[in-house]
Structure 1
Amino acid sequence: MNAQAQTELPSRVPKVTVDFWLIKLMAVTMGETAADYLAINLGVGLTATSIIMSAILLAAIGLQFAQRRYVPAVYWAAVVFISIVGTLVTDNLVDNFGVPLEVTTVAFTLLLLLTFAAWYAIERTLSIHTIYTARREAFYWLAILFTFALGTAAGDLIAETFSFGYLTTSVIFLAVIVAIAAAYYLLNVNAVAAFWLAYIFTRPMGASLGDLMSQPVDYGGLGFGTIYTSLFFLGLIIAIVIHMTLSQTTRDAGEAIR
Structure 2
Amino acid sequence: MRESEVGKARRMLSKVPEVSVWFWIIKILCTTVGESFADWINTSLGVGVNLTALLFTVVLVAVLGWQLWLNRYVAFVYWLTVVVVSVTGTLYTDILTDNLDVPLALSTSAFAAALAIVFGVWFARERTLSIHSIVTLPRELFYWLAVLVTFALGTAAGDWTLEATGWGPGTSVLLPTGLIAVIVLGWRMGANAVLSFWLAYILTRPLGANLGDWFASPTTDDGLGVGTAVTSVAFLAAILAIVVFLTRTRSDVIEDKPETPASATNPARERIMLGYYALVAVLAGSLLVWAAAQPHAAPAGEEENASSSASITASPGQTTAHFPPAEIDKFRTITQDTLTKVRAGNQSEAKARIKDLETSWDQDEATLRPLDGSAWRVLDGQIDSALHALRASKPDQSAEIQTLTTLLATLG
Are 2:8 and 1:8 equivalent residues in the alignment? yes
Are 2:61 and 1:55 equivalent residues in the alignment? no
Shift of 1:5: 4.7
Contact 2:34–2:83 (Cα < 8 Å) also in 1: yes
Identify which of 212, 215, 228 aligns with 1:213. 215
Contact 2:19–2:252 (Cα < 8 Å) also in 1: no
Moved more, 159-168 or 126-135: 159-168
- Paired position in structure 2 for 1:225: 227
Contact 1:35–1:88 (Cα < 8 Å) also in 2: yes
Identify which of 174, 178, 181 aligns with 2:177. 174
Q: Deviations over 1:162-185 (max 9, x none)?
A: 212222221111000000000111
Separation in structure 2 between the aligned mates of residue 104 and residue 218 of structure 1, nearest angstrom: 30
**Partner SS for 1:8:** helix
Letter in 2 for 1:245: T
Letter in 2 for 1:135: P
Are 2:41 and 1:38 equivalent residues in the alignment? yes
- Paired position in structure 2 for 1:117: 120
Contact 1:28–1:80 (Cα < 8 Å) also in 2: yes
Q: CA 1:113 to 1:251, structure 2 compared with 1: closer, same or farther past 3 Å?
A: closer
Separation in structure 1 between the aligned mates of residue 253 and residue 16 of structure 2, nearest angstrom: 16
Q: Deviations over 1:145-193 (max 9, x none)?
A: 01101111111111234212222221111000000000111x2001111
Contact 2:18–2:252 (Cα < 8 Å) also in 1: no
Separation in structure 2 between the aligned mates of residue 4 and residue 118 of structure 1, nearest angstrom: 28
Contact 1:27–1:237 (Cα < 8 Å) also in 2: yes
> Could you say which structure has the larger radius of gyration?
2
Letter in 1 for 2:116: L
Contact 1:6–1:132 (Cα < 8 Å) also in 2: no
Contact 1:13–1:70 (Cα < 8 Å) also in 2: yes
Letter in 2 for 1:241: V
Q: CA 1:45 to 1:241, structure 2 compared with 1: closer, same or farther past 3 Å?
A: same
Moved more, 150-159 or 242-251: 242-251
Shift of 1:216: 2.4
Letter in 2 for 1:121: A
Q: Deviations over 1:23-73 (max 9, x none)?
A: 001000110000000111011111110000110011000000011110000
**Partner SS for 1:167:** helix
Letter in 2 for 1:33: S
5 Å-filtered alignment, 1:134-153, equals: 134-153=137-156
Q: Deviations over 1:69-113 (max 9, x none)?
A: 100000000000000001001000000100111111111111111
Contact 2:246–2:252 (Cα < 8 Å) also in 1: no
Separation in structure 1 between the aligned mates of residue 66 and residue 33 of structure 2, nearest angstrom: 21
Contact 2:56–2:87 (Cα < 8 Å) also in 1: yes
Shift of 1:218: 3.6
Identify which of 66, 69, 83 aligns with 2:69. 66
Alpha-carbon RMSD across the aligned residues, in angstroms, is 1.9
Q: CA 1:104 to 1:45, structure 2 compared with 1: closer, same or farther past 3 Å?
A: same
- Paired position in structure 1 for 2:194: 192
- Paired position in structure 2 for 1:28: 31
- Bigger relative contact order, structure 1 or 2, given CA contacts below 8 A and separation 6+? 1
Q: CA 1:161 to 1:250, structure 2 compared with 1: closer, same or farther past 3 Å?
A: closer
5 Å-filtered alignment, 1:230-249, equals: 230-248=232-250
Separation in structure 2 between the aligned mates of residue 251 and residue 125 of structure 1, nearest angstrom: 21
Contact 2:20–2:252 (Cα < 8 Å) also in 1: no
Which TM-score applies when normalising by structure 2? Answer: 0.59
Shift of 1:2: 7.5
**Partner SS for 2:204:** helix
The percent identity for this pair of structures is 45
Moved more, 149-158 or 6-15: 6-15
Q: CA 1:134 to 1:218, structure 2 compared with 1: closer, same or farther past 3 Å?
A: same
- Paired position in structure 2 for 1:202: 204
Which TM-score applies when normalising by structure 1? Answer: 0.93
Q: CA 1:165 to 1:243, structure 2 compared with 1: closer, same or farther past 3 Å?
A: same
Q: CA 1:227 to 1:62, structure 2 compared with 1: closer, same or farther past 3 Å?
A: same
Shift of 1:3: 5.7
Moved more, 221-230 or 161-170: 161-170
Where structure 2 has 5 or more consecutive residues not aligned to the other structure, the ranges are 258-412
